[in-house]
Amino acid sequence: MLGFNEQPDEELEDEVVLRRSQSSPWMFAILVGRYEEPFLRKAKTIVRNPLDAEEVVQDAFTKIYVNADKYSPQDGAKFSSWAYRILMNTAFTRYQKLVKNSERFAAMDPEYEQHYGEWALHSGFNHKQDAIERVLEKLPGHFAVVLRWHYLERWSHQDIANETGENVGTIKARIHRAKAAFRKKADGKESELLAD
């Protein structure tokens, strides 16, 4: 029975549901119910195949639940921004693997296809694409995505911040850390490509 000022679980804010799901795992199903359909729509724009999109969404929900204790609300960035960032990282990582395995190429939504195509055709990258991909695959998804967007697709810090819902300072710091991680993983001259 609800107390006088208590809301039904289904009406609680996302952040509250996420926090409570850590001690009451069944509550995470509320977030799945709220985000599953929009997540599937977004994932399909990247990986296109419905089965791949379902796997991306399942992986994203798993990462959200496992990393729930790392979520902290920030000004202007709600739970949904954080959750979509995880979804996008997961989708791009999946697409990267599909391309590497030659299961996909230029089959994503035109909005994303343009960015991916610019990266593939960018001067000096075609002959080293496989080497760069091998290094990016060794990095955490959030590092691989910001490196791809900033250095390969030439997105500005502001563009990345707008896409992820984070502030520019956070993006600059992540790119700096990602660049350092790339250099540690790179065994050749691939790291020289990450220059502004």
If asked whether residues 114 and 172 sit together in one domain, one would say yes
What parts of the chain have a pLDDT lower than 50? 1-6, 104-106, 115, 117-127, 196
Nearest to 144 by CA among 182, 106, 111, 176: 182
pLDDT (tens digit per residue) in 67-84: 888 888 776 668 888 898
If asked whether residues 137 and 74 sit together in one domain, one would say no
Domain that residue 77 falls in: 11-104
> pTM of the full predicted structure?
0.53
- At 134, list the tokens: 């091998």
- Which of 89, 104, 119 corresponds to the end of one domain? 104
Residue type, 67: N
